[in-house]
Amino acid sequence: MQFTTKLGVCLAVFFCQTAWGQPTKKLNALWSSFENDSQLQYGIAGMCVLDTATGAILFERNAKMGLTPASTQKVLTSIAAYEALGKQFRYGTRLGYEGQLKGDTLVGDLLVAGSGDPSLGSPRYGGTKPDVVLAAWAAAVKKLGLSHISGALVAAESHFDLNPLPDAWTWSDMGNYYGAGAFGLNWKENQYDLFFDTKNPGTKAQISRNTAAPSAKNTINQVVAGSAGTGDGSVIFAAPYGNTALIQGKLEPQSTGFSVSGASTAPDAGLLADLKQQLATAGVTMPDSARLLTPLQFSANQQAVPVLGQPFYTHDSPPLDSLIYWFMKKSINLYGEALLRTIGQKTMGFGSNDAGLKWVDSFYAAMGIDKRALHLTDGSGLSGNNRIAPLAMATALNYARTRPWFSGFYHSFPVYNGMTIKSGTIHRTKCFAGYHGKYVVVLMVNNYNGSTSALVSKMFAVLNGLK
């Protein structure tokens, strides 16, 4: 009986070592080929694979080296948001007024108090679409018995930093839709569209339509038609609160209505303009001279942002689970920056990039991740200044598996190469992080040369060692 027990233990150890040895041996061979590939001649790659059952490291190369994560950083922001806010957290945007109701007239101002909701006016959810939101708000105003407002429309958010962008974002990113800043009052995912008509290569492209708010329609167009296959090779240069954008580059030739998306420079003002128009349609008039006031204007005049006096309606966002789903699936940078600032607001009392990062850093340190393994500068990964060690990313991913919100988090991951993994791409950076079967997987490459598609095929070949 004793011999049988010992034999069983020995066999169990043997099969365990064999099961672990097979993928490790395969990964060793694949990694050697990958690391010596010409695309990595002047680059660096790091990888970490954990066994989810034990948390033990199955395979690692450069796993403690800080690498630029690109959008795989959204993994860390999502985990932190679930922990700080809770999966049922909802943003609330409130309507109220300052002044008095006299008959059918508001003698005073109508206020919109933002909470940093990145989904307000988003087309991704039935209840957040612009027409749905504005119609509900106008109906709420009408329910007060109003047909006239004598004062201004005011964006009354006051707990968020006036600077909507992380310090490390570049000039060539911030004017484009993926570089949209996070405001206290966001609208339509802080995006607008330009539509171009192009002809022969080398000829100037013509803007046929511009959906930017009236205050930001001044576009200096230096775009030309490129050669066939150019696609969208344009770049929009613009800064928050500005009313002029410079767009340069090349677009696909012989196209009609070719769309290019930019970042709204003042989405709060754009929302107020749309609300004023919706109220007029609903029969609630305002003087032609009625002002649309935002926190920037109050700050410029050294005035305090008005406090919501008499609230009468609240628009709730979808729950955090739903926001994380689109944040991860479609890699929407705005959501990451909004979530980071919301973490700051909820935990530190102020919705700034720095406040959010302070809490996130302390959270991961408390998890046992060495502070030196993380250097975070934004919530989305757009900044090239972020650094994350693959082991730190893998540790966070394995921690997430133990949390009650894990199911929603897991299902927010895209699927690539038959694996549930988040991708990240910025200049000369390509990364993957997520789950495959019983493994946590992180693979990061910085400063590669050649085509991204060719590199991805080689990264998938390495990851296939786990199949």
Q: What is the mean pLDDT of each run of 10 residues along the chain (467 residues)?
A: 42 41 85 96 98 94 98 98 97 96 96 97 97 98 97 92 96 96 97 97 96 84 97 96 95 97 96 97 94 94 88 98 98 98 97 98 97 97 98 98 98 97 97 97 98 98 96
- Give the predicted TM-score (pTM) of the model: 0.93
d(CA 173, CA 110): 34
State the CB neighbour count (10 A cutoff) for residue 76. 27
Superfamily of domain 29-87+322-466: DD-peptidase/beta-lactamase superfamily (3.40.710.10)
d(CA 237, CA 198): 20
Which residues lie closer than 8 Å to 407 by C-beta, 6 or more apart? Answer: none
Question: What is the Cα 132 distance to its own chain's centre?
Answer: 23
Half-sphere exposure of residue 465, counting CA atoms within 13 Å on the CB side? Answer: 27
DSSP letter at 306?
P
User: Which residues belong to CATH 3.40.710.10 in the chain?
Assistant: 29-87+322-466
Q: 427-466 burial, b for 16+ CB within 10 Å, e for fewer?
A: ebbbbbbbbbeebbbbbbbbebeeeeeebbebbeebbebb
DSSP letter at 406?
H
Question: Of 270, 325, 302, 268, which is closest to residue 115 (Cα–Cα)?
Answer: 268
pLDDT digits 0-9 by tens, 399-449: 999 999 999 999 999 999 999 999 999 999 999 999 999 999 999 999 999
Torsion of CA 411, 413, 416, 419, to 10 degrees: -60
pLDDT digits 0-9 by tens, 172-184: 999 999 999 999 9
Residue type, 422: K
Name the E strands within 19-156: 44-51, 57-61, 92-102, 105-113, 148-149, 153-155
Looking at the domain covering 92-162+267-316, what would its CATH class be?
alpha beta
Question: Quick one: angle between helices 333-348 and 353-366, nearest 10?
Answer: 80
Dihedral sign of CA atoms 447, 451, 452, 458 in order: negative
Which residues lie closer than 8 Å to 245 by C-beta, 6 or more apart? Answer: 175, 212, 216, 218, 219, 220, 236, 237, 238, 262, 265
Beta bridge partners of 192: 262
The DSSP element (H or E) to which 278 belongs, if any, is helix 267-281
